[in-house]
Amino acid sequence: MNEKSQAPAIELVGIDKKFGAVHANKNINLTVAKGSIHGIIGENGAGKSTLMSILYGFYQADQGTIRIAGETTTIKDSQAAIAAGIGMVHQHFMLVENFTVLENLMLGAEGGALLAKGTDAARAALKKLEEDYELEVDPDAIVEELPVGLQQRVEILKAMYRGAEILILDEPTGVLTPAEADHLFKILGVLRDQGKTVLLITHKLREIMAITDTVSVMRRGEIVATRKTSETTVEELAELMVGRRVLLQVDKGAANPGEVYLSVRNLTVKDGRGVTMVDNVSFDVRAGEIVGIAGVAGNGQSELLEAITGIRKPTSGEIFICGEPVAGYDPAKLRSIGVAHIPEDRHHMGLVLSFEESQNAILGYHRDDKYGKGPFLAPDLIRQAATVDIEKYDIRPPNPRLKTANFSGGNQQKIVVAREIERDPKLLIVGQPTRGVDIGAIEFIHKRIVETRDAGKAVLLVSVELDEIRSLSDRILVMFAGKVVGEKTPDTGEQTLGLMMAGIAA
């Protein structure tokens, strides 16, 4: 061990940050050794992103000290962070989409007032980086034309180009296939072996176990524990994350499938640029069963859901609901024939955050006469109806007049779930039901989904969380590059499914 003579790469002492009433970071103390990969795990809202934003100069801590390589440093903006050797790979890439890779790299480090001088130097430096770290990408490619995995590479290259000694990655694998994720981890390993320090923010326990040397668990704004990864287990970390023993499985009886409610035949969906997102997909969902679609984000699942729920017009193919051909129906019409949709993105689709809770409780069903006669809407009737759902789903705080933005993620999702399930639909379409939801609400929502199945409804579930798919589904379909590449039973091993998700035939 020669670390004793070296100061830790990062030392956070007493970092504290409030946003109004929200205490995002409470007295954080953290030490990260140089040349290591440190994971920070925690649920959504635990404060991980805030902490990283403080490190990168986006926010200033209200209190506390930051020491980089032993020296107390004030990081008042991104420039200071970069100067301190900190580079960040954001979850939502910070790239200029219509610039080339080279231009994105040079932005901020152009090498002079005139571009001509710096461009050649940048090109040469980029080549060297690519060789050193196996991060190949075409410098003249336009970023918006690159696949997501390559775009992330550009993000990493940006940080390396600015001479980062410390690399922070915020939820990097959400958009990658398992193969791409492995490649990323290989790169992180190379970086670590070359003395760089890596901070990996993630909520995926498996990644922590796979790649990190040490891990800190954050919960409700505090660091509740720091462990050597080799000395802990997935179960211990999960428990530390939520503070109680967590059932990673859902109690579920056997399915009793009846007639076909949803039938998709040769469905193809092309996006605005003519790229095929859903490629000749066919499958059925029966009453009384949950069909789960597994796959890495970006393989066509979103477009498939949008086509089935009427938000997007399919390019070709057919969709039947209880025998009725519905391809091209708009969402309102689909709702009227018994289709309910819990969308993947509750913030931008499932809810209008500025509305009060009761108004979101009727979103999509607002034309129903029970909320007002003829063209009118009666707020009292709406609030009454909303209160019923609030009680049944234990939505907190139980105030139908409260602005929806003021509810927590889990409660917001419960508003959506209540709204859709209480319609007693024939077919329930669910996308990412527990993204950004705390564990207590996750259990609640999973139970409701299973109940819907047991009541004889058909459920189509899409999720990037393989655990969720395996614990809820009666049948699993795997999607890759817009195609359904196979159907498996839920007891199929993770590796098999993972390979299929990566496009490697089973």
Partner 1 sequence: MSTASFPLPRWIDYAVLPLLNLMLAFLVSGLVVWIIGENPIEALKLMLNGALGRGEGIGFTLFYATNFIFTGLSVAVAYHAGLFNIGSEGQAYLGGLGAALVALALDHYVPWYVTMPFAILGAAAFGGLWALIPAWLQAKRGSHIVITTIMFNFIGAALMVYLLVNVMIVPGKMAPESRTFLEGGQLPKLDWLMAMFGLKLGPAPFNVSFLIALVMCFLVWVLIWRTKLGFEMRTLGLSRSAAAYAGIPYTKIVIITMLISGGLAGMMALNPVLGASARLQVEFVGGAGFVGIAVSLMGRNHPIGIIIAAILFGVLYQGGAELSFDMPNITREMIVVIQGLVVLFAGALEYMFRPALVRVYQQFTKG
Partner 2 sequence: MDFFDIVVSILGSTIRLSIPLIFTALAGLFSERSGIFDIGLEGKMLAAAFAAASAAYVTGSPWIGLASGVGVSIGFSLIHGFASITNRGNQIVSGVAINFVAAGLTVVLGQAWFSQGGRTPQLPAEGRFGPIKLPGADAVRDVPFIGPLYANVISGNNILTYLAFVAVPLSWWVLYRTRFGLRLRAVGENPGAVDTAGISVTWLRYRAVIVAGLLCGFAGTYLAIAQSAAFIKDMSAGKGFIALAALIFAKWKPVPVMFACLLFGFLDALANFMQGKQVPLIGEVPVQIFQSLPYILTCILLAGFIGAANPPKAGGVPYTKER
Judged by CB under 8 A, how many residues of this single chain contact partner 1? 36
Q: Please, what is the minimum distance in Å from the beta carbon of residue 331 to partner 1?
A: 3
CB closer to partner 2, 15 vs 81: 81
The conformational region for residue 256 under phi > 0 = left, psi -120 to 50 = alpha, else beta, is beta
Q: Is 292 helix (H, G, I), strand (E, B) or coil?
A: strand
Contact 440, 218 (CB under 8 A): no
CB closer to partner 1, 335 vs 446: 335
Beta strands 63-68 and 427-431, pairing class = unpaired
Contact 311, 272 (CB under 8 A): no
From first CA to last CA, the distance across the chain in angstroms is: 44
Name the binder of 412 from partner 1, partner 2, none, CB < 5-8 A by kind.
none
Q: Please, what is the minimum distance in Å from the beta carbon of residue 373 to partner 2?
A: 38
CB closer to partner 1, 343 vs 410: 343
Residue 366 binds partner 1 (CB under 8 A): yes
Does a cis peptide bond (omega within 30 degrees of 0) precede residue 375? Answer: no
Q: Taking CB under 8 A as the rule, which mask of x and - marks residues 38-77 in contact with partner 1? A: ---------------------x--x---------------
CB closer to partner 1, 20 vs 253: 20
- Measured CA to CA, the distance from residue 164 to residue 129 in angstroms comes to 12
CB closer to partner 1, 274 vs 375: 375
Per CB under 8 A, which of residues 300..359 are in contact with partner 1? 309-311, 330-335, 341, 343, 345, 348-355, 359
Q: Which of 3, 6, 14, 19 binds partner 1 (CB under 8 A)?
A: 19
CB closer to partner 2, 95 vs 137: 95
Contact 474, 449 (CB under 8 A): no
- Count of residues in the chain: 506
Contact 99, 93 (CB under 8 A): no
Residue 269 binds partner 1 (CB under 8 A): no
CB closer to partner 2, 115 vs 247: 115
Per CB under 8 A, which of residues 372..401 are in contact with partner 1? 372, 375-379
CB closer to partner 1, 111 vs 372: 372
Sheet holding 22-32, edge to edge: 22-32, 10-19, 63-68, 71-72
> Going by C-beta distance under 8 Å and a sequence separation of 6 or more, which residues neighbour residue 421?
340, 428, 448, 452
Q: Please, what is the minimum distance in Å from the beta carbon of residue 24 to partner 2?
A: 11
Q: Please, what is the minimum distance in Å from the beta carbon of residue 92 to partner 1?
A: 16
Token pair 């775009």 in the structure block, residue:
151
Residue 177 binds partner 1 (CB under 8 A): no
Q: Which of 20, 253, 272, 274 binds partner 1 (CB under 8 A)?
A: 20
Listed in sequence order, the DSSP H helices in 8-62 are 48-55
Name the binder of 88 from partner 2, partner 1, none, CB < 5-8 A by kind.
partner 2
- The rounded radius of gyration (Å) of the Cα atoms in the chain is 24
CB closer to partner 2, 9 vs 82: 82
The conformational region for residue 350 under phi > 0 = left, psi -120 to 50 = alpha, else beta, is alpha
- Measured CA to CA, the distance from residue 215 to residue 205 in angstroms comes to 10
Token pair 């018994």 in the structure block, residue:
338
CB closer to partner 1, 96 vs 332: 332
- For residue 147, which of 478, 486, 481, 499 has the smallest C-alpha distance? 481
- Measured CA to CA, the distance from residue 23 to residue 219 in angstroms comes to 12
Q: What is the CA 346 to chain-centroid distance, rounded?
A: 12
Rounded to 5°, angle at Cα 284 from 278 and 290: 100
Angle between helices 148-161 and 178-193 (to 10 degrees): 10
Instruction: Name the site residues for partner 2 (rule: CB under 8 A).
Output: 49, 56, 58-59, 77-79, 81-83, 88, 90, 94-99, 103-104, 106-110, 112-116, 118, 158, 162
Q: Please, what is the minimum distance in Å from the beta carbon of residue 303 to partner 2?
A: 22
Q: Please, what is the minimum distance in Å from the beta carbon of residue 96 to partner 2?
A: 5
Name the binder of 455 from partner 2, partner 1, none, CB < 5-8 A by kind.
none
CB closer to partner 2, 49 vs 452: 49
Residue 364 binds partner 1 (CB under 8 A): yes
Name the binder of 352 from partner 1, partner 2, none, CB < 5-8 A by kind.
partner 1
Q: Please, what is the minimum distance in Å from the beta carbon of residue 330 to partner 2?
A: 24
DSSP characters over 469-485: HHHH-SEEEEEETTEEE
Q: Please, what is the minimum distance in Å from the beta carbon of residue 267 to partner 2?
A: 29
Residues contributing to the site for partner 1 (CB under 8 A):
18-20, 59, 62, 309-311, 330-335, 341, 343, 345, 348-355, 359, 363-364, 366-367, 372, 375-379
